[in-house]
Amino acid sequence: MPHPIRRLAPALALTCTVSVGATACGSGSAAEEAAVYITAPTPSPTTQDEREDFARARFAATAGLAAGAAYRWIVKPWKDGVFDKGAQGRAAALDKAGLAGTFAYNKLKTLQRNAQGDPELVEDLAPLLPELERLKDLPAKLRAGDESAIRTFDKTIGKVRGVGSRADAHIRVMVPTESQLAAG
């Protein structure tokens, strides 16, 4: 019988320690006070300068994704002749161009909302708004192989990059992944 008692004593001591510890850390005021310190507020810009900097950063990131999608899957294949009739991989390239066009259009619409925090961006972007609206139909034209849609995308992305550089929102072209394209 001594053998089971040797196993029972450490188990009993461990159980008592855990139950005493759980009782001490129960729903008392110390636990509630600790919870207050653990939850941290999400950062948000507080001054007008911070809001403008945040708007410029979001503008630049979103415009970079739109430019990357347009260049990688629309402009570059067009310049390489992949969209020409009879070219190998033309159908897949046109499908990807349509996805990239939808992605770029969605990013450009998001870009409008992102610019709202900076009055300078809003002012510079205002003349481009009708042009951004006309991009809505271009993904369907891209899938059909309309080359004028490609030139329109290229020109519009160039104008948006110009707006960013005038507002000190330096846009770096970032190519989205294919899964990002599919997600829109």
**Would you say residue 102 lies in a domain?**
yes
Please state the rounded mean pLDDT for residues 43-62: 82
**Would you say residue 34 lies in a domain?**
no
**Would you say residue 174 lies in a domain?**
yes
Please state the rounded mean pLDDT for residues 99-107: 89
Q: Domains in the chain: how many in total?
A: 1
- Distance (Å, whole) CA 20 – CA 12: 12
**Would you say residue 12 lies in a domain?**
no
Per-residue pLDDT of 6-47, as tens digits, reads: 565 555 555 555 455 545 555 555 555 555 555 555 666 578
Q: Are 29 and 77 in contact (CB under 8 A)?
A: no
Global pTM reads 0.68
**Would you say residue 18 lies in a domain?**
no
134 CB contacts (<8 Å, ≥6 apart)? 152
Residue given tokens 């550089």 in the structure block? 165
